Amino acid sequence: MENSENYLETDKLILEYVKDVFNEGLDYIKRHNSKSNQIIIVLGILLGFLIGSSNSIMDVLLKESCNSFIILIALFLLSIILVFISFFFALKSLDMRSYRYPGDPREIYEKLRVVGFQKVIDSFISYYVEAFEENQKVIEQRARELRWSIRFLKFGSVFFFTFLLCFLVSKICFHFH
C-alpha cells in the first residue's frame, strides 16, 4: 500500500511539473502576442510616415535633376515594400490558431468515478505532454513569422535610412554645385 502511495505522490508531482511546463507555453503565447502588437504599432507609425511623406518626397525628387534620382526612388519604394511585407508577417503571426487545452471538467469527473485517480493522473500526464508538443509546433510557427517580420522591418529601415542619407548627400552636393 505504501509503495502505491509513493507512486501516487510521484505521479502528482510529475503532473504538477507537466502542467507548469504547459502553462509556460501558454504564457509564451501571451508574450508573443504582446510583441506582435508592439511591432504592428511601430510598423503602423512607420508606414503612416512613409506613405504620408511619399508625395512630398516624390515631388522633391522629381524637381531635382540629379543623377541619383532613380536610385533614390528605388530605395524609397523598396523601403515601403519591405515594411509592408513586415506588416504582413506581423499580422500573420497574430492569426487565430488552435491550441490544445486540458479536458472538460465533467469528463474528468466521470473518468475519476469510473477508472480511479491513478489512471486519471496517468492520462492527464499523457494528455499534457501531447498538448504541449502540439502547441509547441504552433508556437514555433508564430515565432518564425514574427522573426520574418522583424527581418523585413530591419531591411526596410536600412533601405529607408540609406535613402535619407543618399538624399541628404545629393542635396548637399547639388547645393554646392
Report if residue 155 sits inside a domain.
yes
Counted domains in the chain:
1
Give the tens place of pLDDT for each residue, 19-77. Answer: 787 788 778 888 888 888 888 888 888 888 888 887 777 777 777 655 667 788 888 88
Q: Is it the case that residue 83 has pLDDT exceeding 50?
A: yes
Give the tens place of pLDDT for each residue, 2-27. Answer: 556 666 677 777 777 777 877 887 78
The predicted model scores a pTM of 0.69
Cell numbers of 70, please?
532613380
DSSP-based three-state secondary structure for 150: helix
DSSP calls for 23-87 = HHHHHHHHHHHHHHHHHHHHHHHHHHHHHHHHHHHHHHHHH---TTHHHHHHHHHHHHHHHHHHH
Report if residue 41 sits inside a domain.
yes
Helix (H) or strand (E) holding 101: none
Q: Which domain holds residue 17?
A: 2-98+137-176
Report if residue 60 sits inside a domain.
yes
Report if residue 92 sits inside a domain.
yes
Report if residue 167 sits inside a domain.
yes
Amino acid identity at 27: D
Report if residue 13 sits inside a domain.
yes
